[in-house]
Amino acid sequence: MQLICAIDIDPEQYVAESFHKRMLPPARCPHCYRAKTLWALGYYSRNLSRIGLGALLIFVRRFLCRCCRKTVSLLPSFAQPYRFVQNRTIENYLRGNPLSDEVIRHLDLLSQYWRRFRIWLPELERTVGDALERAPPNDHIKAWRLLLAVHGDLASTTQNLVTGFQITPFGRYRCHRPNGPEEKMVRKR
Ligand SMILES: [Zn+2]
């Protein structure tokens, strides 16, 4: 299982400070709900866009429950589950300000994300209900802004949607995929 972990540093800082090593386990195992049973089990790595050229390789902390033997990983909230472009850039793109360099660099992916949001919106509306009712029909950008306004920002929105409903703003949340193609296990140092 992957949980989203609120974190108030940006991805560049997370990498520069090897912050993954300081991520603490949840107090309770999300599978069996026992307390203090999670032990560190290394990391997996994934790519994330950066402000500037190239990409960041971020390490995501994993833990193993010594009771139920299931694992949990903690994705920092600046990243969107299973999407390359970081939340800050997605927000900038949809804020509609003059396009910044990182938005222009990832315009293809960002427009894909936007298409996904538009397709997914009816399901989102059914799930979160009241929050989006004030959006006029077919005004997707208004719906996006209302959604983020309810939760604060894209990081909190995603965290709340995943925790409460097992969805993200862009689709159903594939809770955990232990060794998928974009993930690689690394040994803890
Ligand atoms: Zn457990």
pLDDT digits (tens, 9 = 90+) for 105-139: 999 999 999 999 999 999 998 888 766 666 677 78
pLDDT digits (tens, 9 = 90+) for 130-149: 666 666 777 899 999 999 99
pLDDT at site 136: 74
98 CA from centroid of ligand 1 (Å): 47
pLDDT at site 102: 92
pLDDT at site 138: 78
pLDDT at site 173: 83
Residue 103: helix, strand or coil by DSSP? helix
Helix (H) / strand (E) element for 172: namely strand 171-172
pLDDT at site 174: 75
Is the per-residue pLDDT at 77 higher than 70? yes
Residue 160: helix, strand or coil by DSSP? helix
Low-confidence winner among 11-20, 34-43, 93-102, 113-122 (lowest mean pLDDT): 93-102
Going by pLDDT thresholds of 50, 70 and 90, the confidence category of residue 98 is confident
178 CA from centroid of ligand 1 (Å): 16
pLDDT at site 175: 65
Is the per-residue pLDDT at 41 higher than 70? yes
Calculate the CA dihedral of residues 102, 168, 118, 155 and round it to 10 degrees.
-40
Q: How many residues can be counted in the chain?
A: 189
Residue 61: helix, strand or coil by DSSP? strand
Ion ligand 1: residues, Cβ under 5 Å: 29, 31-32, 65, 67-68
pLDDT at site 188: 37
List beta partners, residue 95: none
40 CA from centroid of ligand 1 (Å): 13
pLDDT at site 96: 81
pLDDT digits (tens, 9 = 90+) for 168-188: 999 988 765 443 333 333 333
84 CA from centroid of ligand 1 (Å): 30
Within 10 angstroms of residue 169's Cβ, the number of other Cβ atoms is 22
CA-closest candidate to residue 4, choices 160, 109, 184 = 160
pLDDT at site 159: 93
